[in-house]
């Protein structure tokens, strides 16, 4: 693995894991009224497009990061709809 790929994977882990505290907080408190529904709808749309882009250009760091981020963001969005 070359340096550019390593930078891509480290960036992917950093940005993707940044959503975990929010998800954990919602799950623990069972509250999501402070979460912006519009922001997460737009964000999930963007992440979906990034994932499609990554697949089309065959870039694993983009595919991995956006695949995992999409799962986390969708979970937050679903919890927002449930608890918001």
Domain extent at residue 42: 3-83
Q: Give the total number of structural domains in the chain.
A: 1
Residues 4-28 have pLDDT tens digits of: 888 988 888 999 999 999 999 999 9
CATH number at residue 49: 1.20.1280.290
For the residues 63-72, what does the mean pLDDT come to?
A: 94
What's the pTM? 0.84
75 CB-contact burial (10 Å; exposed 0-12 / middle 13-18 / buried 19+):
middle
């Amino acid at each position: 693995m070359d340096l550019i790929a390593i930078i891509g994977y480290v960036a992917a882990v950093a940005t993707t894991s940044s959503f975990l505290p929010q998800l954990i907080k919602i799950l623990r408190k069972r509250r999501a009224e402070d979460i912006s529904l519009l922001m997460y709808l737009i964000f999930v749309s963007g992440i979906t497009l990034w994932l499609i882009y990554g697949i089309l250009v065959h870039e694993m760091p983009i595919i991995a990061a956006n695949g995992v981020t999409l799962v986390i963001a969708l979970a937050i969005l679903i919890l927002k709809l449930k608890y918001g």
